[in-house]
Protein backbone atom coordinates (compact mmCIF):
# COMPACT_ATOMS: atom_id res chain seq x y z
CA UNK A 1 0.00 0.00 0.00
CA UNK A 2 1.26 3.48 -0.89
CA UNK A 3 0.15 7.09 -0.59
CA UNK A 4 -2.25 7.03 -3.60
CA UNK A 5 -4.18 4.21 -1.93
CA UNK A 6 -5.15 6.38 1.05
CA UNK A 7 -8.88 7.24 0.97
CA UNK A 8 -10.26 10.65 1.88
CA UNK A 9 -7.09 12.30 3.27
CA UNK A 10 -5.68 14.10 0.24
CA UNK A 11 -4.51 17.11 2.28
CA UNK A 12 -2.29 14.88 4.44
CA UNK A 13 -1.01 12.71 1.60
CA UNK A 14 -0.03 15.63 -0.62
CA UNK A 15 1.96 17.31 2.17
CA UNK A 16 3.87 14.14 3.06
CA UNK A 17 4.60 13.32 -0.58
CA UNK A 18 6.12 16.75 -1.12
CA UNK A 19 8.08 16.46 2.13
CA UNK A 20 9.60 13.12 1.04
CA UNK A 21 10.37 14.38 -2.45
CA UNK A 22 12.01 17.54 -1.11
CA UNK A 23 13.82 15.68 1.69
CA UNK A 24 12.10 17.89 4.26
CA UNK A 25 10.67 15.15 6.48
CA UNK A 26 10.21 16.34 10.06
CA UNK A 27 11.55 14.47 13.05
CA UNK A 28 8.13 14.24 14.76
CA UNK A 29 4.55 14.06 13.45
CA UNK A 30 1.22 14.05 15.28
CA UNK A 31 -1.75 12.49 13.48
CA UNK A 32 -5.11 13.23 15.10
CA UNK A 33 -8.62 12.26 14.08
CA UNK A 34 -11.46 9.87 14.77
CA UNK A 35 -11.06 6.12 14.64
CA UNK A 36 -10.59 4.30 11.35
CA UNK A 37 -9.64 7.23 9.11
CA UNK A 38 -6.08 6.08 8.25
CA UNK A 39 -3.73 7.52 10.89
CA UNK A 40 -1.73 4.33 11.51
CA UNK A 41 -1.88 3.34 7.84
CA UNK A 42 -0.34 6.64 6.74
CA UNK A 43 2.32 6.28 9.44
CA UNK A 44 3.32 2.86 8.05
CA UNK A 45 3.38 4.19 4.48
CA UNK A 46 5.65 7.03 5.58
CA UNK A 47 7.93 4.48 7.25
CA UNK A 48 8.06 2.50 3.99
CA UNK A 49 8.75 5.66 2.00
CA UNK A 50 11.76 6.50 4.21
CA UNK A 51 13.23 2.95 4.40
CA UNK A 52 12.52 1.59 0.92
CA UNK A 53 15.70 0.43 -0.85
CA UNK A 54 14.76 2.77 -3.72
CA UNK A 55 14.16 5.70 -1.41
CA UNK A 56 13.48 7.84 0.28
CA UNK A 57 10.64 7.86 -2.24
CA UNK A 58 6.93 8.78 -2.12
CA UNK A 59 6.20 5.57 -4.05
CA UNK A 60 7.75 2.65 -2.12
CA UNK A 61 8.17 -0.48 -4.17
CA UNK A 62 6.43 -2.83 -1.68
CA UNK A 63 8.77 -5.59 -2.94
CA UNK A 64 12.12 -4.99 -1.26
CA UNK A 65 12.96 -6.67 2.03
CA UNK A 66 12.42 -3.48 4.03
CA UNK A 67 8.94 -2.82 2.57
CA UNK A 68 7.85 -6.41 3.07
CA UNK A 69 9.03 -6.52 6.69
CA UNK A 70 7.30 -3.21 7.50
CA UNK A 71 4.06 -4.43 5.90
CA UNK A 72 4.22 -7.64 7.96
CA UNK A 73 5.16 -5.84 11.19
CA UNK A 74 8.54 -7.60 11.38
CA UNK A 75 10.92 -4.73 10.76
CA UNK A 76 13.52 -3.89 13.41
CA UNK A 77 13.62 -0.33 12.14
CA UNK A 78 9.88 0.40 12.61
CA UNK A 79 8.60 0.08 16.15
CA UNK A 80 4.84 0.25 16.74
CA UNK A 81 4.09 0.99 20.39
CA UNK A 82 0.69 0.96 22.06
CA UNK A 83 0.44 4.05 24.23
CA UNK A 84 -2.27 2.50 26.39
CA UNK A 85 -0.13 -0.43 27.54
CA UNK A 86 3.19 1.43 27.58
CA UNK A 87 2.09 4.63 29.27
CA UNK A 88 4.52 4.85 32.19
CA UNK A 89 7.64 6.91 32.62
CA UNK A 90 9.79 3.74 32.75
CA UNK A 91 8.57 2.78 29.25
CA UNK A 92 9.59 6.17 27.90
CA UNK A 93 13.01 5.91 29.58
CA UNK A 94 13.52 2.53 27.91
CA UNK A 95 12.53 4.08 24.60
CA UNK A 96 15.05 6.87 25.08
CA UNK A 97 17.84 4.31 25.52
CA UNK A 98 16.85 2.29 22.45
CA UNK A 99 16.66 5.23 20.04
CA UNK A 100 20.42 5.70 20.34
CA UNK A 101 20.85 2.50 18.30
CA UNK A 102 21.01 3.17 14.57
CA UNK A 103 18.76 1.52 11.93
CA UNK A 104 19.47 -2.12 11.05
CA UNK A 105 18.60 -2.15 7.33
CA UNK A 106 16.80 1.03 6.37
CA UNK A 107 17.74 4.69 6.45
CA UNK A 108 15.65 5.70 9.48
CA UNK A 109 14.25 4.23 12.67
CA UNK A 110 10.54 5.09 12.93
CA UNK A 111 8.67 4.97 16.24
CA UNK A 112 4.87 4.87 15.82
CA UNK A 113 3.11 5.44 19.14
CA UNK A 114 -0.62 4.77 18.81
CA UNK A 115 -3.11 6.34 21.27
CA UNK A 116 -0.34 8.57 22.54
CA UNK A 117 -2.80 10.53 24.69
CA UNK A 118 -2.78 7.58 27.10
CA UNK A 119 0.75 8.41 28.26
CA UNK A 120 0.97 9.78 31.79
CA UNK A 121 2.09 13.34 32.54
CA UNK A 122 5.46 12.10 33.77
CA UNK A 123 5.91 10.03 30.61
CA UNK A 124 5.21 13.07 28.43
CA UNK A 125 7.68 15.10 30.45
CA UNK A 126 10.33 12.39 30.00
CA UNK A 127 9.73 12.51 26.26
CA UNK A 128 10.14 16.28 25.89
CA UNK A 129 13.93 16.45 25.69
CA UNK A 130 14.10 13.61 23.18
CA UNK A 131 11.52 15.29 20.93
CA UNK A 132 13.37 18.57 21.08
CA UNK A 133 16.78 17.11 20.16
CA UNK A 134 16.24 13.65 18.63
CA UNK A 135 18.96 11.65 16.90
CA UNK A 136 19.17 12.33 13.16
CA UNK A 137 18.12 8.78 12.27
CA UNK A 138 14.86 8.80 14.32
CA UNK A 139 11.33 9.82 13.28
CA UNK A 140 8.47 9.88 15.79
CA UNK A 141 4.89 9.47 14.57
CA UNK A 142 2.20 9.91 17.22
CA UNK A 143 -1.43 8.96 16.58
CA UNK A 144 -4.37 9.99 18.76
CA UNK A 145 -8.14 10.19 18.64
CA UNK A 146 -8.27 12.66 21.56
CA UNK A 147 -6.15 15.65 20.62
CA UNK A 148 -7.28 17.73 23.62
CA UNK A 149 -5.38 15.36 25.93
CA UNK A 150 -2.01 16.04 24.30
CA UNK A 151 0.11 18.59 26.26
CA UNK A 152 0.90 21.76 24.36
CA UNK A 153 4.59 21.18 25.04
CA UNK A 154 4.39 17.97 22.98
CA UNK A 155 2.12 19.47 20.33
CA UNK A 156 4.49 22.38 19.70
CA UNK A 157 7.36 19.99 18.92
CA UNK A 158 5.46 18.07 16.23
CA UNK A 159 4.01 18.70 12.81
CA UNK A 160 0.31 18.22 13.34
CA UNK A 161 -2.04 16.71 10.74
CA UNK A 162 -5.79 16.46 11.32
CA UNK A 163 -7.38 13.45 9.63
CA UNK A 164 -10.91 14.29 8.53
CA UNK A 165 -14.08 12.24 8.74
CA UNK A 166 -14.47 10.41 5.43
CA UNK A 167 -17.57 11.48 3.45
CA UNK A 168 -20.36 8.96 2.96
CA UNK A 169 -20.09 9.07 -0.81
CA UNK A 170 -16.34 8.38 -0.68
CA UNK A 171 -16.91 5.34 1.56
CA UNK A 172 -19.75 4.16 -0.69
CA UNK A 173 -17.57 4.36 -3.80
CA UNK A 174 -14.79 2.40 -2.08
CA UNK A 175 -17.23 -0.29 -0.93
CA UNK A 176 -18.62 -0.50 -4.46
CA UNK A 177 -15.09 -1.10 -5.74
CA UNK A 178 -14.57 -3.88 -3.19
CA UNK A 179 -17.86 -5.72 -3.83
CA UNK A 180 -17.18 -5.56 -7.57
CA UNK A 181 -13.81 -7.26 -7.08
CA UNK A 182 -15.28 -9.85 -4.71
CA UNK A 183 -18.32 -10.58 -6.96
CA UNK A 184 -20.75 -9.63 -4.18
CA UNK A 185 -24.28 -8.58 -5.18
CA UNK A 186 -25.54 -5.67 -3.11
CA UNK A 187 -27.75 -2.71 -3.99
CA UNK A 188 -26.50 0.91 -4.07
CA UNK A 189 -28.91 1.67 -1.23
CA UNK A 190 -27.38 -1.14 0.82
CA UNK A 191 -23.90 0.24 0.30
CA UNK A 192 -25.07 3.72 1.25
CA UNK A 193 -26.72 2.43 4.43
CA UNK A 194 -23.52 0.62 5.36
CA UNK A 195 -21.43 3.73 4.70
CA UNK A 196 -23.72 5.85 6.88
CA UNK A 197 -23.57 3.34 9.70
CA UNK A 198 -19.76 3.63 9.65
CA UNK A 199 -20.10 7.31 10.67
CA UNK A 200 -17.08 8.52 8.70
CA UNK A 201 -14.79 5.60 9.54
CA UNK A 202 -13.55 3.56 6.58
CA UNK A 203 -12.30 0.78 8.86
CA UNK A 204 -15.74 0.48 10.46
CA UNK A 205 -17.34 0.38 7.02
CA UNK A 206 -15.11 -2.51 5.95
CA UNK A 207 -15.84 -4.39 9.19
CA UNK A 208 -19.59 -3.92 8.71
CA UNK A 209 -19.37 -5.11 5.12
CA UNK A 210 -17.56 -8.26 6.24
CA UNK A 211 -20.22 -8.86 8.87
CA UNK A 212 -23.04 -8.38 6.35
CA UNK A 213 -21.50 -10.73 3.80
CA UNK A 214 -20.89 -13.34 6.51
CA UNK A 215 -24.59 -13.15 7.41
CA UNK A 216 -26.17 -12.94 3.95
CA UNK A 217 -23.63 -14.59 1.64
CA UNK A 218 -22.63 -13.32 -1.79
CA UNK A 219 -26.12 -11.98 -2.56
CA UNK A 220 -27.17 -9.37 -0.01
CA UNK A 221 -30.74 -8.03 0.29
CA UNK A 222 -31.57 -4.66 1.84
CA UNK A 223 -33.63 -6.16 4.64
CA UNK A 224 -30.66 -8.35 5.61
CA UNK A 225 -28.52 -5.24 5.97
CA UNK A 226 -31.18 -3.69 8.22
CA UNK A 227 -31.15 -6.85 10.32
CA UNK A 228 -27.37 -6.85 10.77
CA UNK A 229 -27.10 -3.13 11.45
CA UNK A 230 -30.20 -2.96 13.63
CA UNK A 231 -31.82 -0.34 11.38
CA UNK A 232 -35.50 0.50 11.64
CA UNK A 233 -37.30 -0.61 8.45
CA UNK A 234 -38.05 2.38 6.25
CA UNK A 235 -41.68 1.23 6.06
CA UNK A 236 -42.13 2.26 9.69
CA UNK A 237 -40.59 5.66 9.07
CA UNK A 238 -42.93 6.09 6.12
CA UNK A 239 -45.90 5.16 8.29
CA UNK A 240 -44.83 7.69 10.90
CA UNK A 241 -44.62 10.47 8.35
CA UNK A 242 -48.04 9.58 7.01
CA UNK A 243 -49.43 9.77 10.56
CA UNK A 244 -47.86 13.22 11.02
CA UNK A 245 -49.23 14.55 7.73
CA UNK A 246 -52.73 13.20 8.39
CA UNK A 247 -52.60 14.18 12.08
CA UNK A 248 -53.32 10.64 13.23
CA UNK A 249 -51.77 10.14 16.71
CA UNK A 250 -53.28 6.66 17.04
CA UNK A 251 -51.43 5.53 13.95
CA UNK A 252 -48.22 7.16 15.20
CA UNK A 253 -48.50 5.20 18.46
CA UNK A 254 -48.88 1.97 16.49
CA UNK A 255 -45.60 2.75 14.72
CA UNK A 256 -43.81 3.34 18.04
CA UNK A 257 -45.15 0.08 19.42
CA UNK A 258 -44.11 -1.76 16.24
CA UNK A 259 -40.55 -0.48 16.63
CA UNK A 260 -40.50 -1.74 20.21
CA UNK A 261 -41.98 -5.11 19.26
CA UNK A 262 -39.24 -5.61 16.67
CA UNK A 263 -36.57 -4.86 19.27
CA UNK A 264 -35.58 -1.63 17.54
CA UNK A 265 -33.53 1.09 19.20
CA UNK A 266 -35.98 3.89 20.00
CA UNK A 267 -33.21 6.46 20.28
CA UNK A 268 -31.93 5.52 16.83
CA UNK A 269 -35.45 5.60 15.39
CA UNK A 270 -35.97 9.07 16.82
CA UNK A 271 -32.65 10.17 15.35
CA UNK A 272 -33.78 8.94 11.93
CA UNK A 273 -36.99 10.96 12.25
CA UNK A 274 -35.04 14.08 13.20
CA UNK A 275 -32.80 13.62 10.17
CA UNK A 276 -35.83 13.20 7.89
CA UNK A 277 -37.56 16.32 9.25
CA UNK A 278 -34.37 18.34 8.78
CA UNK A 279 -34.23 17.15 5.17
CA UNK A 280 -37.84 18.20 4.61
CA UNK A 281 -37.18 21.68 6.01
CA UNK A 282 -34.26 22.11 3.62
CA UNK A 283 -36.38 20.77 0.77
CA UNK A 284 -39.18 23.18 1.68
CA UNK A 285 -36.81 26.14 1.59
CA UNK A 286 -34.87 25.00 -1.48
CA UNK A 287 -36.84 22.58 -3.70
CA UNK A 288 -33.83 22.24 -6.02
CA UNK A 289 -31.77 20.65 -3.25
CA UNK A 290 -33.46 17.25 -3.51
CA UNK A 291 -30.28 15.73 -4.91
CA UNK A 292 -28.15 17.11 -2.07
CA UNK A 293 -30.22 16.14 0.96
CA UNK A 294 -30.77 12.69 2.35
CA UNK A 295 -34.40 11.63 1.82
CA UNK A 296 -34.56 7.87 1.46
CA UNK A 297 -36.30 6.34 -1.52
CA UNK A 298 -39.00 4.85 0.69
CA UNK A 299 -39.88 8.26 2.05
CA UNK A 300 -40.05 10.14 -1.24
CA UNK A 301 -43.84 9.99 -1.55
CA UNK A 302 -44.41 11.01 2.05
CA UNK A 303 -41.72 13.69 1.69
CA UNK A 304 -43.51 15.23 -1.26
CA UNK A 305 -46.82 15.16 0.61
CA UNK A 306 -45.26 16.60 3.76
CA UNK A 307 -43.54 19.41 1.87
CA UNK A 308 -46.81 20.24 0.12
CA UNK A 309 -48.99 20.03 3.25
CA UNK A 310 -46.85 21.31 6.12
CA UNK A 311 -45.48 24.81 6.49
CA UNK A 312 -41.91 25.59 7.48
CA UNK A 313 -43.18 26.64 10.92
CA UNK A 314 -44.96 23.29 11.29
CA UNK A 315 -41.81 21.37 10.39
CA UNK A 316 -39.65 23.47 12.70
CA UNK A 317 -42.04 22.83 15.60
CA UNK A 318 -41.90 19.10 14.82
CA UNK A 319 -38.10 19.29 14.73
CA UNK A 320 -37.99 21.05 18.11
CA UNK A 321 -40.29 18.50 19.74
CA UNK A 322 -38.30 15.54 18.44
CA UNK A 323 -34.92 16.98 19.44
CA UNK A 324 -36.24 17.72 22.94
CA UNK A 325 -37.45 14.13 23.14
CA UNK A 326 -33.94 12.98 22.15
CA UNK A 327 -32.50 14.79 25.16
CA UNK A 328 -35.12 13.24 27.44
CA UNK A 329 -34.40 9.74 26.17
CA UNK A 330 -30.83 10.00 27.43
CA UNK A 331 -31.94 10.53 31.02
CA UNK A 332 -34.96 8.28 31.50
CA UNK A 333 -35.70 4.60 31.87
CA UNK A 334 -39.09 5.02 30.17
CA UNK A 335 -37.94 5.72 26.64
CA UNK A 336 -41.07 4.32 25.06
CA UNK A 337 -43.28 6.67 27.11
CA UNK A 338 -41.23 9.71 26.10
CA UNK A 339 -41.37 8.78 22.42
CA UNK A 340 -45.11 8.08 22.59
CA UNK A 341 -45.85 11.50 24.07
CA UNK A 342 -43.55 13.16 21.54
CA UNK A 343 -45.27 11.66 18.48
CA UNK A 344 -48.70 12.51 19.92
CA UNK A 345 -47.63 16.11 20.33
CA UNK A 346 -46.16 16.17 16.83
CA UNK A 347 -49.40 14.92 15.31
CA UNK A 348 -51.32 17.62 17.17
CA UNK A 349 -49.05 20.41 16.00
CA UNK A 350 -48.58 19.46 12.38
CA UNK A 351 -50.69 20.64 9.47
CA UNK A 352 -52.53 23.36 11.39
CA UNK A 353 -55.80 24.37 9.84
CA UNK A 354 -56.86 27.98 9.53
CA UNK A 355 -60.19 29.65 8.93
CA UNK A 356 -60.99 30.02 5.27
CA UNK A 357 -60.85 33.43 3.66
CA UNK A 358 -64.60 33.45 3.16
CA UNK A 359 -65.31 32.71 6.83
CA UNK A 360 -62.98 35.44 7.99
CA UNK A 361 -64.54 37.88 5.49
CA UNK A 362 -67.98 37.15 6.88
CA UNK A 363 -66.59 37.49 10.37
CA UNK A 364 -65.13 40.89 9.48
CA UNK A 365 -68.59 42.16 8.59
CA UNK A 366 -69.72 41.48 12.16
CA UNK A 367 -66.64 42.79 13.96
CA UNK A 368 -67.19 44.16 17.43
CA UNK A 369 -65.84 47.65 18.00
CA UNK A 370 -65.74 49.43 21.32
CA UNK A 371 -65.24 52.98 22.45
CA UNK A 372 -61.69 53.87 23.38
CA UNK A 373 -62.94 56.22 26.10
CA UNK A 374 -61.66 55.02 29.47
CA UNK A 375 -63.86 55.04 32.55
CA UNK A 376 -62.93 54.63 36.19
CA UNK A 377 -64.19 51.06 36.11
CA UNK A 378 -63.06 49.67 32.76
CA UNK A 379 -61.03 50.35 29.64
CA UNK A 380 -62.95 49.01 26.64
CA UNK A 381 -60.97 46.88 24.19
CA UNK A 382 -61.18 47.03 20.42
CA UNK A 383 -61.43 43.52 18.99
CA UNK A 384 -60.85 43.15 15.28
CA UNK A 385 -60.08 40.20 13.09
CA UNK A 386 -56.40 39.46 12.99
CA UNK A 387 -55.13 41.07 16.17
CA UNK A 388 -52.38 39.27 18.10
CA UNK A 389 -51.23 39.56 21.69
CA UNK A 390 -48.55 37.66 23.61
CA UNK A 391 -49.14 38.94 27.12
CA UNK A 392 -48.85 36.32 29.83
CA UNK A 393 -52.24 34.98 30.82
CA UNK A 394 -53.34 34.90 34.49
CA UNK A 395 -53.93 31.78 36.50
CA UNK A 396 -57.51 30.52 36.74
CA UNK A 397 -57.10 29.57 40.40
CA UNK A 398 -55.93 33.03 41.55
CA UNK A 399 -58.67 35.10 39.87
CA UNK A 400 -61.36 36.43 42.27
CA UNK A 401 -64.82 35.07 41.61
CA UNK A 402 -66.32 38.54 41.91
CA UNK A 403 -64.37 39.59 38.82
CA UNK A 404 -66.47 39.54 35.66
CA UNK A 405 -65.32 40.18 32.13
CA UNK A 406 -68.00 40.51 29.50
CA UNK A 407 -67.88 40.21 25.77
CA UNK A 408 -65.97 42.99 24.01
CA UNK A 409 -68.22 45.95 23.33
CA UNK A 410 -70.04 45.66 26.70
CA UNK A 411 -69.28 46.91 30.18
CA UNK A 412 -70.84 46.82 33.60
CA UNK A 413 -69.63 47.65 37.12
CA UNK A 414 -67.59 45.04 38.96
CA UNK A 415 -69.80 42.69 40.88
CA UNK A 416 -72.97 44.22 39.45
CA UNK A 417 -75.80 41.93 38.42
CA UNK A 418 -77.38 44.52 36.13
CA UNK A 419 -77.84 43.56 32.48
CA UNK A 420 -75.01 44.32 30.09
CA UNK A 421 -75.26 47.69 28.36
CA UNK A 422 -73.65 48.36 24.98
CA UNK A 423 -70.78 50.87 25.01
CA UNK A 424 -71.24 52.05 21.45
CA UNK A 425 -74.14 52.62 19.14
CA UNK A 426 -72.41 50.47 16.53
CA UNK A 427 -73.17 47.38 18.60
CA UNK A 428 -76.94 47.92 18.80
CA UNK A 429 -77.50 45.41 16.01
CA UNK A 430 -76.12 42.61 18.23
CA UNK A 431 -78.48 40.24 19.97
CA UNK A 432 -78.96 40.18 23.74
CA UNK A 433 -76.73 37.09 24.01
CA UNK A 434 -73.89 37.83 26.46
CA UNK A 435 -71.08 35.76 27.92
CA UNK A 436 -69.35 36.33 31.22
CA UNK A 437 -65.93 35.13 30.10
CA UNK A 438 -64.45 34.90 33.57
CA UNK A 439 -67.28 32.76 34.85
CA UNK A 440 -67.03 30.59 31.74
CA UNK A 441 -63.33 29.96 32.39
CA UNK A 442 -63.96 29.28 36.08
CA UNK A 443 -66.74 26.77 35.39
CA UNK A 444 -64.64 24.96 32.80
CA UNK A 445 -61.70 24.96 35.22
CA UNK A 446 -63.67 23.14 37.93
CA UNK A 447 -63.61 19.83 36.04
CA UNK A 448 -60.99 20.53 33.35
CA UNK A 449 -58.37 23.02 34.58
CA UNK A 450 -56.04 22.32 31.64
CA UNK A 451 -58.83 23.03 29.18
CA UNK A 452 -59.54 26.32 30.97
CA UNK A 453 -55.93 27.35 30.46
CA UNK A 454 -56.23 26.72 26.72
CA UNK A 455 -59.52 28.65 26.63
CA UNK A 456 -57.86 31.70 28.20
CA UNK A 457 -55.57 31.98 25.15
CA UNK A 458 -58.56 32.68 22.88
CA UNK A 459 -59.72 36.09 21.67
CA UNK A 460 -63.53 36.68 21.76
CA UNK A 461 -64.41 37.88 18.25
CA UNK A 462 -68.19 37.62 17.94
CA UNK A 463 -71.16 36.83 20.19
CA UNK A 464 -74.29 37.12 18.07
CA UNK A 465 -77.35 35.25 16.84
CA UNK A 466 -76.61 32.23 18.98
CA UNK A 467 -73.02 31.94 17.68
CA UNK A 468 -69.95 32.38 19.86
CA UNK A 469 -66.77 32.85 17.84
CA UNK A 470 -63.43 32.55 19.64
CA UNK A 471 -60.20 33.02 17.67
CA UNK A 472 -56.63 31.95 18.43
CA UNK A 473 -53.49 33.57 17.07
CA UNK A 474 -51.19 31.54 14.85
CA UNK A 475 -48.73 30.80 17.65
CA UNK A 476 -51.64 29.33 19.66
CA UNK A 477 -52.59 26.70 17.10
CA UNK A 478 -52.12 23.93 19.63
CA UNK A 479 -54.64 25.58 21.98
CA UNK A 480 -57.14 25.94 19.15
CA UNK A 481 -56.77 22.33 18.07
CA UNK A 482 -57.23 21.08 21.63
CA UNK A 483 -60.35 23.22 22.07
CA UNK A 484 -61.75 22.10 18.67
CA UNK A 485 -61.77 18.41 19.59
CA UNK A 486 -65.29 17.08 19.59
CA UNK A 487 -65.42 16.21 23.29
CA UNK A 488 -63.81 19.47 24.44
CA UNK A 489 -65.91 21.66 22.17
CA UNK A 490 -69.11 19.95 23.26
CA UNK A 491 -68.20 20.35 26.92
CA UNK A 492 -67.46 24.09 26.65
CA UNK A 493 -70.55 24.58 24.52
CA UNK A 494 -72.72 23.01 27.23
CA UNK A 495 -71.18 25.35 29.81
CA UNK A 496 -71.95 28.32 27.55
CA UNK A 497 -75.56 27.17 27.24
CA UNK A 498 -75.92 27.00 31.01
CA UNK A 499 -74.52 30.53 31.34
CA UNK A 500 -76.65 32.02 28.54
CA UNK A 501 -79.81 30.09 29.29
CA UNK A 502 -80.29 29.41 25.58
CA UNK A 503 -79.00 27.31 22.72
CA UNK A 504 -75.63 28.49 21.40
CA UNK A 505 -73.11 27.29 18.83
CA UNK A 506 -69.42 27.54 19.67
CA UNK A 507 -66.72 27.92 16.99
CA UNK A 508 -62.93 28.06 17.33
CA UNK A 509 -61.07 29.72 14.46
CA UNK A 510 -57.61 31.07 13.66
CA UNK A 511 -57.05 34.80 14.14
CA UNK A 512 -55.87 36.48 10.97
CA UNK A 513 -52.77 38.65 11.13
CA UNK A 514 -53.14 42.34 11.99
CA UNK A 515 -50.95 45.10 13.33
CA UNK A 516 -53.46 46.12 16.00
CA UNK A 517 -53.11 44.48 19.42
CA UNK A 518 -55.93 42.52 21.03
CA UNK A 519 -56.44 40.94 24.41
CA UNK A 520 -57.25 37.33 25.10
CA UNK A 521 -59.90 36.08 27.47
CA UNK A 522 -57.26 35.54 30.12
CA UNK A 523 -55.82 39.02 29.64
CA UNK A 524 -59.25 40.61 29.92
CA UNK A 525 -59.69 38.88 33.25
CA UNK A 526 -56.21 39.88 34.39
CA UNK A 527 -56.87 43.50 33.48
CA UNK A 528 -60.17 43.50 35.35
CA UNK A 529 -58.50 41.96 38.38
CA UNK A 530 -55.77 44.61 38.42
CA UNK A 531 -58.29 47.43 38.19
CA UNK A 532 -60.41 45.90 40.91
CA UNK A 533 -57.35 45.64 43.14
CA UNK A 534 -56.39 49.26 42.38
CA UNK A 535 -59.92 50.47 43.15
CA UNK A 536 -59.83 48.56 46.44
CA UNK A 537 -56.50 50.14 47.31
CA UNK A 538 -57.75 53.62 46.44
CA UNK A 539 -60.86 53.17 48.57
CA UNK A 540 -58.73 51.93 51.43
CA UNK A 541 -56.40 54.94 51.24
CA UNK A 542 -59.41 57.27 51.23
CA UNK A 543 -60.86 55.71 54.37
CA UNK A 544 -60.59 58.20 57.31
CA UNK A 545 -59.40 55.57 59.80
CA UNK A 546 -56.67 54.34 57.49
CA UNK A 547 -55.50 57.86 56.72
CA UNK A 548 -55.39 58.69 60.43
CA UNK A 549 -53.24 55.62 61.19
CA UNK A 550 -50.86 56.38 58.33
CA UNK A 551 -50.50 60.03 59.38
CA UNK A 552 -49.98 59.07 63.02
CA UNK A 553 -47.34 56.39 62.50
CA UNK A 554 -45.88 57.54 59.18
CA UNK A 555 -46.32 54.12 57.53
CA UNK A 556 -47.40 52.96 54.11
CA UNK A 557 -49.70 50.27 52.80
CA UNK A 558 -47.90 47.22 51.41
CA UNK A 559 -50.92 45.23 50.26
CA UNK A 560 -54.71 45.31 50.47
CA UNK A 561 -57.00 42.30 50.44
CA UNK A 562 -60.76 42.22 50.57
CA UNK A 563 -62.33 40.66 53.67
CA UNK A 564 -65.19 38.71 52.17
CA UNK A 565 -68.18 37.97 54.39
CA UNK A 566 -69.00 34.34 54.97
CA UNK A 567 -72.05 32.91 53.29
CA UNK A 568 -75.24 34.24 54.88
CA UNK A 569 -73.52 37.21 56.56
CA UNK A 570 -73.55 40.84 55.45
CA UNK A 571 -70.39 42.62 54.28
Q: Do 56 and 84 fall into the same domain?
A: yes
Which CATH number belongs to the domain containing residue 98 in this structure?
3.40.50.300
Whether 537 is in a domain gets the answer no
DSSP conformation letters of 420-450: PEESSGGGTTS-S----HHHHHHHHHHH-HH
* Whole-angstrom distance, CA of residue 101 vs CA of residue 383: 92
Query: Domain check: are 374 and 264 in the same one?
Result: no
Cβ atoms of 405 and 417 within 8 Å: the answer is: no
Reduce the secondary structure of 127-178 to three states and give it as a string. Answer: HHHHHHCCCCCEEEEEEECCHHHCCHHHHCCCEEEECCCCCHHHHHHHHHHH
pLDDT in tens, 122-132: 889 888 888 88
In a domain, residue 473? The reply is yes
Asked if residue 62 and residue 135 are part of one domain, the reply reads yes
Partners of 368 in beta bridges: none
- Structural domains of the chain, count: 4
Is 460 in contact with 435 (CB distance < 8 Å)?
A: yes
Question: Rounded to two decimals, what is the model's pTM?
Answer: 0.56
The alpha carbon of 233 is separated from its chain's Cα centroid by a whole number of angstroms, namely: 22
Whether residues 408 and 478 fall in one domain: yes
* Domain C-terminal end among 229, 253, 276: 229
Structural domain including 478 reads 357-527
Backbone angles phi, psi at 22, to 5 degrees: -90, 5
Tens-digit pLDDT profile for residues 424-435: 433 333 344 567
Domain of 208: which CATH number? 1.10.8.60
CB 83 within 8 A of CB 114: yes
Among candidates 438, 433, 376, which has minimal Cα distance to 409?
A: 433
pLDDT for residue 161: 94
The sign of the torsion formed by the CA atoms of 136, 137, 142, 143 equals: positive
Same domain, 510 and 440: yes
Last residue of a domain, one of 143, 162, 181: 162
Which residues are bridge partners to 471 per DSSP? 459, 509
> Which CATH number covers residue 259?
1.20.272.10
Query: CB of 533 within 8 A of CB of 559?
Result: no
pLDDT by residue for the chain (571 residues), tens only, comes to 788 889 989 999 999 999 998 889 999 999 999 999 999 999 999 999 998 888 788 888 888 888 888 888 888 888 888 888 888 888 888 888 888 888 888 888 999 999 999 998 888 988 888 888 888 889 999 999 999 999 999 999 999 999 999 988 899 999 999 999 989 999 888 898 899 888 889 999 999 999 999 998 888 888 888 888 877 777 788 788 888 888 888 888 988 898 888 777 888 888 888 888 888 888 778 766 655 565 554 455 555 666 667 778 888 888 888 888 888 888 888 888 888 998 888 887 744 443 333 344 344 334 333 333 333 333 333 333 333 333 344 444 444 443 443 344 333 333 433 333 334 433 333 344 567 787 888 888 888 877 888 888 888 877 777 788 888 887 777 788 888 888 888 888 888 888 877 788 888 888 776 656 677 888 777 777 777 778 877 787 777 877 777 777 777 777 777 665 444 444 4
> How far is the CA of 340 from the CAs of 242, 255, 319, 477, in angstroms?
16, 10, 15, 21
Amino acid sequence: MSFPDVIGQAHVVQTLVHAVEGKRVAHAYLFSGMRGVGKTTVARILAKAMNCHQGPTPTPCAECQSCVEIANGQSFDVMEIDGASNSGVDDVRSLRENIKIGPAKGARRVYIIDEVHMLTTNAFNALLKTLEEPPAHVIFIFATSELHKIPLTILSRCQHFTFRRIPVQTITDHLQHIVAQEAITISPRGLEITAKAADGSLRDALSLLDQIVAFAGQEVADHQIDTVLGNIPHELRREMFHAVVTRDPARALEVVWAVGDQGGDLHRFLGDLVEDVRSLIVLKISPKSLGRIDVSEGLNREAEEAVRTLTIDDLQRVFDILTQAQDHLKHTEFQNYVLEMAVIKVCQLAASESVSHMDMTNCAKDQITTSRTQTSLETPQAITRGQVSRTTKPSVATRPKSQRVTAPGFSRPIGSKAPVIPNDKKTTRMSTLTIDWTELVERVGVEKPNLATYLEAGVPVKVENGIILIAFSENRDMCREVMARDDNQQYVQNVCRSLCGSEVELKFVRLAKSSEPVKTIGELGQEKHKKQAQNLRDRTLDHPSVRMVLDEFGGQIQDVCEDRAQEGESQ
